[in-house]
Amino acid sequence: MAKSEATSTQAKAPPEPISSMALIAPALGWIIPGAGHIVQKRWIRGVVLMVSVFIMFFLGVAMEGKIYQPNTGDLLDILGFVGDAGAGGLYILGRMLNWGGTAITSATADYGTKYIVVAGLLNIMVMVDAYHIAMRRKP
Amino acid sequence: MLAMFQTANLQVSHFTAALIFSLFSSVVFGITTRSYPRDMFRYGAYCFAWFMGGLFVASWIMWLLHH
């Protein structure tokens, strides 16, 4: 019994202290996709991720995809909003400048809507990755 | 310049849309889920191949269902 307790104690890694970068990098990455990596000097990764998310989002807008609003009351719209909001600064910019179609009227607009939602979801992955780098869980 | 995207009214085929989607999604998957550049590239290529494979399989299934 005592031996197993000692083993389980040894297996537990000490909690890592949260640095300021672990808060700044994901927040910055939310506002500007890829910036969380760039601020940590992962230049190439940051630029490639930034280009990927930006292109997905802007192609979605160019296809007249819909940018969801938070308060429509429709469950599917709320889920769409959660995805869109992941794009952070791009989403805010899109709402401020009234980008995107108001209704999905064609197949291309439907693809565009999916592009915008997925750009946001991919940016959430990018933010989590920036956090892992800041916490030294990833080189 | 940004407003250009809003008025572009881009029209693409389903295949082109799926191809672009697969490419950029695979890039993000590769970079965020692996630690080293070589592994990132390999996993990104792996994801892209699965996206494309799934696209062709789904296309043929839909064609068979339609006919």
Contact flag A97-B3 (C-beta cutoff 8 Å): yes
Q: Is A64 in contact with A81 (CB distance < 8 Å)?
A: no
Residue B62 burial by CB count (10 A; 0-12/13-18/19+): exposed, middle or buried? Answer: exposed
Six-digit token string for A7? 């083993």
Q: Which residue of B has its CA nearest to A54?
A: B24
pLDDT tens for residues B14-36?
999 999 999 999 999 999 999 99
Work out the mean pLDDT of chain A and round it to a whole number. Answer: 89
Query: Which of A32-36, A97-101, A102-106 has the highest average model confidence (pLDDT)?
Result: A32-36
Of B8, B25, B32, the CB nearest to A62: B8
pLDDT tens for residues A30-59?
999 999 999 999 999 999 999 999 999 999
Contact flag A125-B29 (C-beta cutoff 8 Å): yes
Residue with tokens 């995809």: A65
Q: What ipTM, to 2 d.p.?
A: 0.90
For chain A, which residues lie within 8 Å of any Cβ of chain B, measuring from their own Cβ? Answer: 45, 48-49, 52-53, 55-56, 58-59, 61-64, 93, 97, 99-100, 107-108, 111-112, 114-115, 118, 122, 125-126, 128-129, 138-139
The arithmetic mean of pLDDT across residues A120-128, rounded, is 98
pTM of the complete model: 0.88
Q: How many angstroms separate the Cα of B12 from the Cα of each of A94, A100, A102, B56, B57?
A: 22, 16, 19, 18, 21
